Amino acid sequence: MWNRFDQKIFWILLLMMAGVIVINGTTTEISLGDESHHYRFAQNIYTEGKRVPYDPLYESGNPPGFFNNDPPLWHLILAFLWKVTGSISQAVAQIYQVLFFILLVWLTSLLAKETAGEERRWVPAFIIAAVPMVVSFSTLLYMDIPMTALSTLAFYMILKKRYIEAGVASGLMYFTKLNAGFFFPGFIFLIFWNERKKFWSLLKNLSFFTLPILMIYIPDLFWRRLNITSQMDSVGWSMISHRFSIGFTGRQWKEHLNSYLSNPEDLAKYLGFTFLFLLLIHFVRLRRWNKRDAIFWIPVVSYLIPFLIVFGTGSDIRYLIPILPFLAVLITPTFFSLGKVWRFAVIGVCVLQIAGTSYYVHQRRQIPPGVREGLEYIRENVPQNALILYPEENLLIYGQRRMIWSAVVIYRSGQKWGLNALFWASHPEEMNEVLRINQIDHILVKKSRVYDDHEIRHYGGYPKSFVNKLPCLDGWVKIFENSGVTLWKKV
């Protein structure tokens, strides 16, 4: 049986992992992907003392500024922690983020206890803690880890038939990241199944579950109606129908994602070899149907069906993180069915994955000296009201100037065009027209994001053909260049 000594070892290892993540996070800069946006959102809340509808430094929407249409729970709590500690602090943000990692791993062990038993509960907890994208996004300030932890908590409370707590956790998971709503059908089905023989008990418990969700959802919906335009509201019907149409047609100009579901190499890179190996063995062996397993397939199926409809198979792999705790529990018997040598090999690979992912994130998250020098130049020499074409929101944090990227738009013959009208314009005059209409007066080219667009075109960086045209663009001059960036200015 799992004695107190084993429990202490488990917690010591978990806290050591959390310590590595915090140290890794605090010794690098916030710079990768969406984490810059979330950190900036929390900064705005801290400065204004309330939930703010848009960031004035991001040129998008009307009035100019990027609408903060994200669910704000994580950001509100971080801003509060900054108020308590006295200032904006990346260290506080990293410690706050890693608490969700600890919660996720602990809850996974609690779920495993329900099926695998007390003495085997550490296995799925360790497996999910070693998944590369879990380690990565516990370091980066992405919302996937907090939402997954809250989703797992909601499911666990339903298993324990504590429906009020499950409703609160479900409302909070929605208020953290919207794709958490994919779990709602499965959660409601579980409550119905638990209470199916008692009509009044079913009615009462469904009410207990849904009331806390509505108490969070309705004020949020009301705030959105007052502060965010319908075109920018991610909860509004126009955005939802747009996502559905993309899912069915597959036609979309997209950012260049870090990973794709349809890429086997990305699956191995983000899910890790141990998780994929155990999952594959689990399916290949076609284990006899176990009723205890069925309950864990309900949230997996409930999430995957709307996920595939809305996002399709070409979406980012990280959106699969919410179902990992349930799959980790399901594959636990497969781990124990392996021979002793194989089990030690799996554990060893898990350790290597944790170390390798931590090193990879540490290297990638640091801002290169050339880019840092360019951002400092912008902060000291570029006017406050300048509008800079740049794809990374870390410019808002370190350059402190307005930027634009995906909001670039121009209308021609009644059709709406975006960055493609600028990047692949036929003539320099057309490029200047797009820049003038969008009031762009600076272009910051990060050299590591220039790509050859002969075979593929996307918005995740600067097409090489576009960069080659800049010296020939009338009225534009190069005012700064180093090994990392080039800055162009309209004169």
Strands (E), 64-160: 66-67
At 417, phi and psi to the nearest 5?
-120, 150
Domain extents in the chain: 4-364, 369-490
Mean pLDDT calculated for residue range 66-77: 87
Beta partners for 54? 67
What value, to the nearest 5°, has the Cα angle with vertex 47 and ends 76 and 400?
110
Average pLDDT of span 441-463: 90
Please provide the DSSP assignment of 162-179 as one string.
-HHHHHHHHHHHHTT-GG
> Residue 262, SS3?
coil
Q: Is the pLDDT of residue 205 over 80?
A: yes
CA distance 480 to 377: 8
pLDDT computed for residue 164 by the predictor? 95
So what's the pLDDT on residue 232?
A: 64
**What DSSP assignment string belongs to 205-241?**
HHHHHHHHHHHHHHHHHHHHHHHS-TTT-TTSHHHHH
Kindly report which listed range (239-243, 248-252, 460-464, 475-479) carries the lowest average pLDDT score: 248-252
Q: What is the pLDDT of residues 369-420, one digit of tens each?
A: 999 999 999 999 999 889 999 998 889 899 999 888 888 888 887 788 888 8
Angle at 76 (CA atoms; ends 48, 47), nearest 5 degrees:
20
50 vs 263, higher pLDDT: 50
Q: Which of these CATH numbers, 1.10.3470, 3.10.180, 3.40.50, 1.10.287, describes 369-490? A: 3.40.50
CA-only gyration radius of the chain, Å: 24
pLDDT over 50 (residue 1): no
- In this prediction, residue 13 carries a pLDDT of 82
CA 491 – CA 489 distance, rounded (Å): 6
SS3 readout for 427-447: CHHHHHHHHHHCCCCEEEEEH
pLDDT, residue 162, reads: 93
The pLDDT, as a whole number, for residue 9 is 76
Asked if residue 188 lies in contact with residue 155, where contact means CB atoms within 8 angstroms, the answer is no
Mean pLDDT for the stretch of residues 458-487: 92
pLDDT band at 287 (very low <50, low <70, confident <90, very high): low
In angstroms, the CA 38 to CA 40 distance is 5
Choice among 59-68, 145-154, 372-381, 394-403 with the minimum mean pLDDT: 59-68
Residues 266, 259: contact at Cβ < 8 Å? yes
pLDDT tops 60 at residue 2: no
Quote the CA–CA distance of 169 and 121 in Å, as a whole number: 22
Indicate if the pLDDT at residue 238 is higher than 60: no
Q: Are 148 and 321 in contact (CB under 8 A)?
A: yes
**Strand, coil or helix: what is 198?**
coil
Q: What is the mean pLDDT of residues 307-320?
A: 83
Comparing 455 with 66, the larger pLDDT belongs to 455
Structure tokens belonging to residue 54: 């848009």
Task: Give the bridge partners for 365, in sequence order.
Answer: none
Kindly tell me if the per-residue pLDDT of 460 is higher than 70: yes
HSE-CB of 67 using CA atoms within 13 angstroms: 18
Distance (Å, whole) CA 479 – CA 483: 14
**Region for residue 439 given its phi and psi (left: phi exceeds 0; alpha: psi -120 to 50; beta: otherwise):** left
Work out the mean pLDDT of the chain and round it to a whole number. 86
Give the residue from 323, 274, 268 showing the smallest Cα distance to 126.
274
pLDDT digits (tens, 9 = 90+) for 338-372: 888 888 898 899 889 999 999 999 999 989 999 99
Q: Which pLDDT band, with edges at 50, 70 and 90, does 336 fall under?
A: confident
Amino acid found at 22: V
**Close Cβ partners of 1 (under 8 Å, ≥ 6 residues apart):** 118, 119
Phi, psi of 436 (to 5 degrees): -70, -45
